[in-house]
Chain A
Amino acid sequence: MLRVLLLTISVLAVAHAELCKPDAQNAFKVRLSIKTALGDNAYAWDANEEYLFKAMVAFAMRRYSSKSTTQISNVLLCNMTGRVSFWFVVTDSSKNVTTVPGSEVEAAIRMNRNRINSAFLLNDKTLQFLQITSTLSPPVEPSTPVWLIIFGVVLCLIVAGIVFLIVGGIRKHKKKNKEPAERENLEEKGEVNVTVENGIPCEVLDLKAGHINGVFAADDERFTPL
């Protein structure tokens, strides 16, 4: 009896060793970077964590195929390294000594990636399933782009400033136009002296400055030739 038991155990162990080894069929490599993710709060990777991992994979398989046949003992881990990386396979309990197809395992893991990550307080980058790519989350985009709002604010301020300055300028211009009219009234009263030279107001003279005075230009002709 004992011998039969020992024989089955050793057969099972050999079978397991054959099922789970690096680059075996339907086997996946997992790599964890606990210290990178958690820093000082990092936990140590021990047998309890391994148990949790097996449980999570079994949970994922159950959820995916919705038949409650996968047990924790169906998940085999091997080749544990100090990096914290290992290989795992999921055996099929209904068929003896075979592994569940890799595509099924991959789909199950993908569906439940978030749950598995949060069980270990890690994310897609720090808990890597090397042959399973993660789907990227779409970026959050607000309904109106933020820059348009800021631009609107800036433009409103500028336009307000321009309008203010133009209106101010027009008002000043109107005031100036009133003043000459007042000055003309004063002139009629004779209170403002307009500077006059030779009977011509100086302003008029200034306007005429720079013109060629033909009288002097015709100097040569005025003198009778010798």
Chain B
Amino acid sequence: MTKDLTMPSEIPEEDGRPKWDNKFQYILSCVGFAVGLGNVWRFPYLCQIHGGGAFLIPYFIALLFEGIPLLHLELALGQYVRKGSIGAWNTVSPYLGGVGAGTWMASVLVSLYYNTVLTWVMWYFINSFQEPLPWSVCPLNENRTGLNEECYESTAVNYFWYRKTLNITPDVTESGTLQWWLILCLAACWAIVYLCTIRGIETTGKAIYVTALFPYLVLTIFLIHGLSLPGATDGLTYLFTPNLNALKNPRIWLDAATQIFFSLSLAVGGLIAFSSYNPPKNDCEKDAVTVAIVNSLTSLYASIPVFSVLGFKATTGYWDCLDRNILNIINEFDLPEESIMRQNYTAWISFLNSSYPEKIAGVKLKTCDLQEFLDQSVSGTGLAFIIFTQAITLMPGSQAWAILFFTMLFCLGLSSMFGNIEGVFTPLLELQVFKSTPKELLSGIICLISFLIALCFTLASGSYWIDIFDSYAGSLPLLVIAFFEVIGVAYVYKIKRFSKDVKQMTGRKPNLYWQMTWKFISPLLLLIVFVAFVTLQTHKPPSYAAWNPKYEGFPMKEEKVYPPWVVSICVLLAALPCVFIPLGALFHLIKQMRRSSDLSFVPKQVFSCQGANSNFSHLQE
């Protein structure tokens, strides 16, 4: 007999399941989970390369037709079934149990590498207490005759990131040794995660007040300070000037769809876990819309200080370039100091070009173009650890700014880690095996095992592996899982039934927008995005950019191709969560078949209920 999924009229809340202290805590947890490092270092980059303000159009379309419907689906499901991802999908349909297992697996993989990024943030944080900042000056070489060569040829910030932090090898196949300073920081990070998730939402609910709200405070401080810096307006106009021609490029639509999807942290089971602790009568529709809109607005809000600071950095770089040229000219022509200023630079150049063309040519002036400096767009770790750290060294009081910045990044990442860990923790708590284990022990074991596995990211080649995990484990499987989530709810569980369940929780039936998006638009959109994504990844052999000091083009990075064994690992990472879906269905099918064959031969003692014996005697009469 299948479990009856319609709830009785009095919903027993004393089922021993932990719950949120208040609604605000729940919303804050979802917002904190969704708002992560990508809001700060991926969204502004995408805005910049896809025609500024024009990017917002496909972004909001994707939000409307992909982000919000999927978010509502996950929140409603978790809240109704009141179980973690594995239990939830088992309840929807036993054939879809594989979706839950795939979600759990994806959660595990993402947790592993995400915390290593936080390790790097922590390393920079504890190094921000020095005067001068260690990434602002190049160290001397061995015999103290000059600056370290690798540092001199690239920049001090690059040297600190690639050599002092990662100690990176020139190739992904060269593993190098474990970097002890990163191991210490990794241990500290996992200890912090353990401290905050030790009793599940009981402890994360308290921690989230700080980790979710502090970044907004820091962003506001950076906003005010950033807007006061010279060159900030250049950066902002560059960011937001819409270039509508960019909309013709299909890449912008793909990037918008993937950005919305990954930004909302869908398909990792964290949202299902969070909403499963809700009281059943809670308006999940409003919650979904709220969380999605807050996430997008945060992305926009974060891009303003980021681009003010980038504009400041570009302007400073431009001025430095001009100043160097001016110094070379006045040295060559023995002109008095301050005779050439930035303002009359071009006038002087044209005058000198006409009067002393050979001498000017001999000076070897660099072309200084502000646009070129602004065009140097970077996303991801490059933005935070190279570009931004350099900009911070140019500000007065750089230690304070560095400490604020890295604390903000740490909080952003930590609140996302809570969701990832909950996605792993909650389904495990519901398994029979762990019913009697105290929560503190289970979360400790999870954190310990994750720490030990994540040690391989502290190898010298660790950052290459993080890129691999990010590109293959944290992207493709999630698209597949989300697709099966929508299909599962819309066509296996049936939309009518789901709408009835949602009506029971919110008090009103989901309107036509939800029905259309759940049934047709979102699955179609996901399918298109998946196909486009796979095509883009596979049309050329997967390559990576290696930091090789012995490369001729140094400090440019060397483009290398992954060797076959690495490619097979990439495929494995992408396929592992996805393969659970068919495996789960197959497993249940076999179980069903075996059960139906068992029913034809029934052993004499089937019921193990000793006390029930006496009660069934009346049936045998």
Residues of chain B with a CB closer than 8 A to A84's CB: 336-337
Please determine whether A35 and B338 come into contact, CB atoms closer than 8 angstroms: yes
Residues of chain A with a CB closer than 8 A to B140's CB: 136, 138-139
Residues facing A in B117-131 (CB within 8 A) are: 122-123, 126-127, 129-130
Residues facing A in B157-214 (CB within 8 A) are: 184-185, 187-188, 191-192, 194-195, 198-199, 203
A204 within 8 A of B: yes
Nearest CB in chain B to that of A45: its residue? B336
Given A151-B188, A173-B438, decide whether A136 and B145 contact each other with a Cβ distance below 8 A.
yes
Please determine whether A214 and B602 come into contact, CB atoms closer than 8 angstroms: yes
Please determine whether B609 and A139 come into contact, CB atoms closer than 8 angstroms: no
Residues of chain A with a CB closer than 8 A to B438's CB: 169, 173
Given A154-B188, A158-B192, A214-B606, decide whether A139 and B137 contact each other with a Cβ distance below 8 A.
yes
Given A136-B146, A138-B140, decide whether A155 and B607 contact each other with a Cβ distance below 8 A.
no
B249 within 8 A of A: no
Please determine whether B198 and A150 come into contact, CB atoms closer than 8 angstroms: no
Please determine whether B440 and A166 come into contact, CB atoms closer than 8 angstroms: yes
30 contacts between A and B (CB under 8 A): A31-B331, A35-B338, A81-B334, A82-B336, A83-B331, A83-B337, A84-B337, A135-B144, A135-B145, A136-B140, A136-B147, A138-B144, A139-B137, A139-B140, A146-B127, A147-B127, A151-B126, A151-B184, A155-B187, A155-B188, A158-B191, A158-B195, A165-B440, A169-B199, A198-B615, A200-B612, A205-B609, A211-B608, A212-B606, A212-B607
Residues of chain A with a CB closer than 8 A to B565's CB: none
Q: How many residues of B contact A (CB 8 A)?
A: 51
Q: How far is A36 from B330 in the complex, measured between Cα atoms in Å?
A: 13
Chain A residues in contact with chain B, CB under 8 A?
A: 31, 33-36, 81-85, 135-136, 138-139, 146-147, 150-151, 154-155, 158-159, 161-162, 165-166, 169, 173, 198-200, 204-205, 208, 211-215, 217-218
Residues of chain A with a CB closer than 8 A to B187's CB: 155
Residues of chain B with a CB closer than 8 A to A85's CB: 331, 334
Please determine whether A211 and B609 come into contact, CB atoms closer than 8 angstroms: yes
Please determine whether B198 and A162 come into contact, CB atoms closer than 8 angstroms: yes
CB distance from B119 to the nearest CB of A (A): 12
Nearest CB in chain A to that of B620: its residue? A215
Chain B residues in contact with chain A, CB under 8 A?
A: 122-123, 126-127, 129-130, 137, 139-140, 144-147, 184-185, 187-188, 191-192, 194-195, 198-199, 203, 330-331, 334-339, 438-440, 599, 602-609, 611-612, 614-616, 619-620
Q: How far is A169 from B184 in the complex, measured between Cα atoms in Å?
A: 27
Please determine whether B336 and A165 come into contact, CB atoms closer than 8 angstroms: no
Residues of chain B with a CB closer than 8 A to A161's CB: 195
Please determine whether B126 and A162 come into contact, CB atoms closer than 8 angstroms: no
Please determine whether A162 and B609 come into contact, CB atoms closer than 8 angstroms: no
CB distance from B148 to the nearest CB of A (A): 11
Which of B127, B334, B611 contacts A204, CB < 8 Å?
B611
Q: How far is A169 from B331 in the complex, measured between Cα atoms in Å?
A: 73
Please determine whether B607 and A211 come into contact, CB atoms closer than 8 angstroms: yes
Nearest CB in chain A to that of B203: its residue? A165
Q: How far is A159 from B187 in the complex, measured between Cα atoms in Å?
A: 11
Residues of chain A with a CB closer than 8 A to B440's CB: 165-166, 169
Residues of chain A with a CB closer than 8 A to B127's CB: 146-147
Please determine whether B612 and A147 come into contact, CB atoms closer than 8 angstroms: no
Residues of chain B with a CB closer than 8 A to A198's CB: 615
CB distance from B264 to the nearest CB of A (A): 30
Q: How far is A225 from B330 in the complex, measured between Cα atoms in Å?
A: 115
Q: How far is A146 from B128 in the complex, measured between Cα atoms in Å?
A: 9
CB distance from A202 to the nearest CB of B (A): 11
Please determine whether A34 and B195 come into contact, CB atoms closer than 8 angstroms: no
CB distance from A18 to the nearest CB of B (A): 22
Residues of chain B with a CB closer than 8 A to A213's CB: 606-607, 616
Please determine whether A214 and B185 come into contact, CB atoms closer than 8 angstroms: no
Q: How far is A199 from B187 in the complex, measured between Cα atoms in Å?
A: 56
Residues of chain A with a CB closer than 8 A to B184's CB: 151
CB distance from B17 to the nearest CB of A (A): 16
Please determine whether B602 and A217 come into contact, CB atoms closer than 8 angstroms: yes
CB distance from B494 to the nearest CB of A (A): 25
14 additional contacts (CB under 8 A) given A150-B129, A166-B440, A214-B606: A135-B144, A136-B140, A139-B139, A154-B188, A161-B195, A169-B438, A169-B439, A200-B611, A200-B612, A205-B612, A208-B608, A212-B607, A214-B602, A215-B619
